[in-house]
Amino acid sequence: MYAQPRFLAAGETGLVVEFSDRVEEAANEAVHFLDAHVRRWLSDPRARGLDGSVPTYRSLLLRFDPGLLPRGRLEGMVRQALAGAVEGVEGAGGGHKPCSRHLSLPVCYEGEYAPDLQEVAAMTGLSNREVVRLHTGTEYLVHMMGFQIGYPYMASLVPQLRLPRLARPRLKTPCGAVAIAEELTGVYSLPSPGGWRVIGNTPVRMWDLDWDPPSLLRAGDRVSFYAIGPDEHRAMEQSGWVPPEARVTPRAGAGDAGRSSVQPVLGVERPGPLATVQDLGRSGYERYGCGPGGAMDRFALRVGNRLLGNPEGAAAVEVTAGGAEFAFLSSGAAVWTGGTGDLRLDEKQVPGWTVFAFRPGQRLVVGILRHGFRGYLCIGGGVAVRPVLGSRSTNLGAGFGGHYGRKLQTGDMLPASPMGPEARTMSTRVADPEVVREVYLRMGVGPPTLRVVPGPQDGRFGPEARDALYGPVFRVGNESNRMGYRLAGPEVRPTGGADIVSDGAVAGAIQVPGNGQPVLLMADHQTTGGYAKAGVVVTADLPPAAQLRPGDELAFAPVEVAEASKLHVSFEQLIARAAGDLVQMRLGMEGRIWQVTVDMRR
């Protein structure tokens, strides 16, 4: 039987089951034992509302809908599963191993492939050769996947090589970099910023969309490294060599991501600063380091799709800041939701949150958004780019999904699925303006106040840190993006430092790095994070947060998790009301249609 864990809140839709506060194999076994149960629960009607799990070194993040699965019931299910763990019973008890593969990865520890090797040798008092010998002479356990798709966190590095992270992280760590930090070693699966010390590089791909699952390594794998030279590295990289013991399985339908045989409906004339294809995101791949992503403002996307008679998760075009222009290539229906500004179909003004018909050759011009920062062009049937890992959302960091894994460019043409009969028969639909105003009310005069469920590391934030976080105003920094908002304001200092053993991350989490300036994680957040999280913004306040632009101000206020769960249920009801009680107004012999303009401010 495993010891009872701590239950920590990660907002109203997240539950962290924590077995330890440090990296240790026993805790990791408990995590994967429980994770195996959770994956079975996903097909059990009694666990309706459970969305998935994110295993880490020493904790398991459970995602759930509190309107369908109360937190107390979920905690009871976890306790019962752990109490039933019996030593020696396969798949049900102590000593559970999630996987038993042993892989050997080639690494070049020379020249440009090993930029920090000399410094590591100097800091440890070893020679380069001794560093390589120690690194290759150890077998490592993959405790978790996270940070980026295919990135393995492996322990345990020999004590002689344990060094702190770089004082100043490099801006770009190359793909394949083999790096060390404290007791861990890892492999960068994408070019990215990074603070680990790079001592080598592997030519082996760590992920591939043609594999099922898409990650080379999985939690529970045992990994060892062996040294190769630069010439062998280049040859293996060019050939796409994969360790035979990996036994990768080809994915059904692999190789066609991004292409579609459906006729194009929408042409991009001007994309504005940033336009991408987004839906409600992909789920089930966080365990491989692939985050859900999806629309920043899920309320706007869901309501827009409902107004059109689409599935509410259908893909649309997310436009940041406005300044875009689109050409319609066939007949259909569309609606603009989210941030508002001047919107014209040819020369005729079109109100937001209202369905309109379009014909071939017409152009939709989106002016600069005056209220809000992100808008959604939803098309009848939904944008029909090929799904990748179960979603049409664009993953800009990894370069897949959406339209060839990138932001939209002038000349791109997007297909749409056939419209349903409901969308074809409705002449106009309008979102309930009062509901829209209620959702975005805190976008009015003065900085919006985002409600926050404290945790999961709120115990590290004393009275002084809480006073700094709740009440004062923060400003959204210029370096903010879809991954997260860097906030400028009073310093929030956690007790004992900002670093923690990485655990699961969710949208809305408020991470506090070493400089004391919070980072609000948004749609494209990483799956795990190594900074203390003071709290998580409630789901109902993420849409107005998504409409903030660099330079805007915001404030935080704490709420209890029980209150946040009630807000979650109310928010789902607002979505149903916004598009459920459809407004149709046909007046006059000529069939003229009166349309309601919805402003995000009173």
- Over residues 534-546, the pLDDT tens digits come to 999 999 999 999 9
CA atoms within 13 A on the CB side of 323: 6
Q: Which residues of the chain, if any, have pLDDT below 70?
A: 1, 3, 86-99, 253-261, 420-428, 442-445, 581-602
Crossing angle for the helix pair 25-41 and 71-83, to the nearest 10 degrees: 120
Query: How many angstroms from the chain centroid is the CA of residue 83?
Result: 32
Residue 581 within a domain? no
What pLDDT score does 447 carry?
A: 86
Pair (76, 38) in one structural domain: yes
Q: Does residue 142 sit in the same domain as residue 195?
A: yes
**One domain for residues 209 and 67:** no
- 491 and 402 both lie in a single domain: no
Nearest CA-CA partner of 64 in 13, 100, 102: 13
Residues 459 and 404 in one domain: no
Give, in degrees to the nearest 5, the angle at Cα 67 between 65 and 73.
75
pLDDT of the residue at 94:
43
Same domain for 446 and 423: no
Same structural domain, 268 and 413: yes
Same domain, 32 and 122: no
Q: Model pTM?
A: 0.90
Range of the domain at 63: 6-83
Write down which residue in 429, 453, 472 finishes a domain.
429
Q: 267 pairs with which residues across the strands? A: 327, 413
What is the C-alpha to C-alpha distance for residues 57 and 27, in angstroms, rounded to an integer? Answer: 7
Whether residue 416 is found in the same domain as residue 272: yes
CATH of the domain at 210: 2.40.100.10
pLDDT score of 166? 84
Q: Domain check: are 276 and 301 in the same one?
A: yes
Number of independent structural domains in the chain: 4
